Chain A
Amino acid sequence: MTEADYAVVAEALVKRFGEFAAVDRISFPVRRGEIFGFLGPNGSGKSTTIRILCGLLKPTSGRVVVAGHDVSEHAELVRQSIGYMSQKFSLYNDLTVRENLRFYGGMYGVSGAQLREAIAVTLEMAGLTDMESTPVATLSGGWKQHLALGSAMLHRPPIVFLDEPTSGVDPVARRQFWQVIQRMGAAGTTIFVTTHYMDEAEYCNRVVLINHGKLVALGTPAELKREKLGGELMELVCEPSWSAIEALKALPAVVDAFVFGNAIHLLVTDSTIARAEIQRLLQNAGVAMVRFEPIRPSMEDVFVQLTVRRNAAHAEGAAP
């Protein structure tokens, strides 16, 4: 693949605020037409990165190419090729849905028949067709989110940047919003989306995990779960309830163990060996093993294991 096949290329991106490195040598390519998730906890550098990619903030060093244009040299060209929905988007509460879209159309220089067509497509895609005459003030938070997304896409940009679009939205609306994103992705738009909800990785074709400004992992959700967990994730249920976590952690085949509701979750190097070791331990404690079986890891499991390992490597002075 050449650079032209990518919607976004970031190379060795660094952004410092004084001593603090908000973004610390991050590199990644975003393919055309994919839904690319940028995942990390609050304060990990997501918003800073997205603002650099959109040309709103200058990086301390590094290079960004968006839609084939170098952002530092051609910020104007980049801005014409992208849509951007910021965390705190602004809509006009006293205008209707349609009037808001018309206003944004004017801002992007779309007018006449082209604007009417664009509004119809946007309303349809955002699921807002029945609400075009509704004043924005009376919309729920979820629908406002849909409208903000529609506004950012009205000029049909090939790439859209969404900064924490689902933050603070209820689960039902969150799911509906992702359905809209999927529709837009299916129509060929490249979507770059940040989130601190680890479970939202599932909706993306590929994801980056970042923490403290550093890239932790990059891949499809399935790849990360398969390759980055560092073992098999198992669920253990005992009778009577028993949770000697430290004793479990001390077993050779057990990498990590923690209580999870009425069960214990374990990361093990080999489930057969671990089962034998745990059975011995339980026998001595007079506890019965009710269940010991593999479970599907979540993206949060992957994130926790990767960052804990990285922190441990730091503590030993080794390179991460």
Chain B
Amino acid sequence: MTELSNSIQVMGLSKSFADQPAIEDLSFQVEPGEIFGLVGPDGAGKTTTLRILAGVLKADRGSVIVGGHDVASDPQTLKRDISYMPQRFGLYEDLTVDENIRFCADLFGVRRKLRQDRATRLLAACEMSEFRGRLAGKLSGGMKQKLGLVCALIHAPRVLLLDEPTTGVDPVSRREFWNMLYALVSEGVAVLSSTAYLDEAERCHRVALLYRGRMLMCDSPKGLRDAVKGAVISIISNQARQVQELITGDDRFAHSVLVGNALHVFVDDAGVRIPELESSLSAGGISYEEIAQVAPTIEDLFVHAVTSEVGH
């Protein structure tokens, strides 16, 4: 039963706003102890999905089952099990850190002793113990997000829903935030988190890439990278721009991107194309420091998937 109650199953979820589809036929599953990332740019449907899962928005079609309970038909039962942290989390800026935590704990009827133990542990985990008496309004952006997470966790939910929790958060706080999530899932909690940072997808156990309401792909970060057909070749050169001009119009090197002092070229087969590039470069009289195959990033993958799908 515990196993089951920490999982999320989403089947055929669709939602439109004034005939404009926000999400179309989404299906995925989040296992207990897993961090599942909903990854995509603004307008991909991340917030809509999370709000339906949290029971604050009704889907047009499809179902969401959390721990065997249908969210739409049985929202009250699930309230205790799910915690939802929206993008703009409603902290009380004129209350202190401790007072905000107590307020959230009272909403869920968490007993005093339990609340104190959890607050101490959670605040220590996010390096905020020394700020318990500070007004929430006086916290930095990163600390506000961490306090939001502490509040969301004070009733020990089994499923945690986070909407872009690290947007605008500095890298150090971002890492502490993720450390807390990893500690949480090691206790069996299921975490569904959205992000617009594609590099953050690498930190999730599995991710769904969303674009304009539809799922492009769903797999582990490694699985996604392995699914990339072809390879990325990086040419480091002071004449990277000339390299790009040289290969423009050549179907073998149809897609390339300038990255600082390098040009990244997307090809079908690095083993074949590297020697070909080398000979074109020397024929063109262009010098270069290095030419090598590099691992594609999730961003490479996303841009590739989107451009091939919609002909951006």
Contacts and interface: CB of A to CB of B under 8 A. Distances in A.
Which interface class (under 10, 10 to 19, 20 to 34, 35 or more) fits B? 35 or more
A186 to B, nearest CB: 4
Contacts of B41: 170-173
Interface stretch (A10-18, A91-99, A200-208, A275-283): A200-208
Interface string B172-205: 1001001100100010000000001111001111
A42 B168 contact: yes
B303 interface: yes
A260 B203 contact: yes
A243 B241 contact: no
A220 B236 CA distance: 13
B260 interface: yes
B175 A198 contact: no
B299 to A, nearest CB: 6
B22 to A, nearest CB: 16
A109 B89 CA distance: 47
B227 interface: no
Contacts of B170: 41-44, 211
B305 to A, nearest CB: 10
Which of B168, B169, B306 is packed against the most chain A CB atoms within 10 Å? B168
Nearest to B185: A259
B222 A171 contact: no
Contacts of B257: 175, 179
B42 interface: yes
B87 interface: no
Contacts of B141: 42-43
A243 B168 contact: no
B140 interface: yes
B62 interface: no
B259 interface: yes
A211 B302 CA distance: 30
Interface string B24-43: 00000000000000000111
B182 A262 contact: no
A173 B43 CA distance: 13
Interface string A2-41: 0000000000000000000000000000000001000001
B299 A171 contact: yes
Interface residues of A, number: 42
B282 interface: no
B259 A243 contact: no
A300 B297 CA distance: 15
A231 interface: no
A317 interface: no
A175 B303 CA distance: 8
Given A43-B140, A172-B303, A304-B175, A262 B168 contact: no
The winner among A175, A198, A220 for most chain B CB atoms within 10 A is A175
Interface in A161-199: 168, 170-173, 175, 178-179, 182-183, 186, 196-199
Given A172-B41, A182-B258, A304 B303 contact: no
A307 interface: yes
Contacts of B302: 171-172
A89 B178 CA distance: 33
Contact of B171 (A170, A179, A258, A303): A303
Nearest to A141: B42
Contacts of A196: 168
Contacts of A179: 257-258
Nearest to A168: B42
B287 interface: no
Contact of B303 (A44, A171, A183, A298): A171
B9 interface: no
A304 to B, nearest CB: 5
B260 A204 contact: yes
A210 B172 CA distance: 13
A112 interface: no
A308 interface: yes
B312 A172 contact: yes
Nearest to A167: B168
A170 B202 contact: no
B179 A202 contact: no
Contact of A203 (B142, B171, B259): B259
B307 interface: yes
Given A199-B299, A243-B182, 10 more contacts: A178-B258, A179-B258, A211-B170, A220-B261, A221-B260, A243-B186, A259-B182, A304-B171, A304-B172, A308-B172
Interface of B: 41-43, 140-142, 168-172, 175, 178-179, 182, 186, 196-199, 202-205, 220-222, 241, 257-261, 295, 299, 302-303, 306-307, 312
Interface of A: 35, 41-44, 141, 168, 170-173, 175, 178-179, 182-183, 186, 196-199, 202-205, 211, 220-221, 243, 258-262, 296, 298, 300, 303-304, 307-308, 311
17 contacts: A41-B171, A170-B196, A171-B41, A171-B303, A172-B41, A175-B303, A179-B258, A182-B241, A186-B241, A205-B260, A243-B186, A259-B182, A260-B203, A262-B221, A303-B172, A304-B171, A307-B171
The 5 lowest CB-CB distance pairs between A and B, nearest first, are A170-B41, A41-B170, A259-B182, A182-B258, A186-B241
